[in-house]
Structure 1
Amino acid sequence: MKTLPKERRYETLSYLPPLTDAQITRQVQYILDQGYIPAIEFNEDSDPTVYYWTMWKLPLFGARSTQEVLSEVQACRSEYPNCFIRIVGFDNVKQCQILSFIVHKPGGSRF
């Protein structure tokens, strides 16, 4: 059995190859379909011991389409190109974050 190469892993889905734009769009659609509230967060570091990321604007309470969410990701990326950016999904019934995944890494690109 072969082990994975030693490298930093980030958030949910981090052990998979980088998500394509279509896969990211489907993940955002899943968040919306489940009734979760999407939000965008960014941070200069993705150190696992850093528990607080800065939220980009307010959560997208009224978002109805993936394009609304991805447009905000692009705006955040334009303003903070050297930061990690992730999308999170909040459950307003359980009052907690249900999922999150990285959509932009400094030096790499997505959306």
Structure 2
Amino acid sequence: MQTLPKERRYETLSYLPPLSDAQIAKQIQYILNQGYIPAIEFNETSEPTELYWTMWKLPLFGAKSTQEVLSEVQGCRSQFNGSYIRVVGFDNIKQCQVLSFLVHKPNRY
């Protein structure tokens, strides 16, 4: 058994290496398959006390394909490259966020 090196972990899936665009697409497809509403959020920091992130545009209520969501992720990346960016899945029945994962971490080290 090995102890992980001490480094900050962020959101769901943060113990894995950074996700490729294909892996992000699979996670987004899961969100769509579950009937959740995808949204993209960004923030300059990812501190545990930072509860509220800025939403990139409106939630993607009508999104039917992963490509629609990925194109919005790319748009957010190009405009806010120095920010953390995550994809969030909202459950419209429970009226809450049910999952989120980082799709971009800024290079600050």
What SS does the corresponding residue of 1:11 show, helix, strand or coil?
coil
Distance 1:98 1:11 in 2: 12
Question: Residues 81-92 of structure 1 correspond to what in structure 2 (within 5 A)?
Answer: 81-92=81-92
Question: Residues 8-23 of structure 1 correspond to what in structure 2 (within 5 A)?
Answer: 8-23=8-23
Distance 1:18 1:107 in 2: 12
Unaligned runs of 5+ in 2: none
Residues 89-110 of structure 1, C-alpha deviations (whole Å, 9 max, x = no match): 00000000010000011129xx
The share of aligned pairs that are identical, in percent, is: 78
Question: Residues 14-93 of structure 1 correspond to what in structure 2 (within 5 A)?
Answer: 14-93=14-93
Unaligned runs of 5+ in 1: none
Question: Which residue is 2:102 aligned to?
Answer: 102
Structure 1 stretches of 4+ with a deviation exceeding 3 A read: none
TM-score (structure 2 length as normaliser): 0.95
Counting matched residue pairs gives: 108
RMSD: 1.1
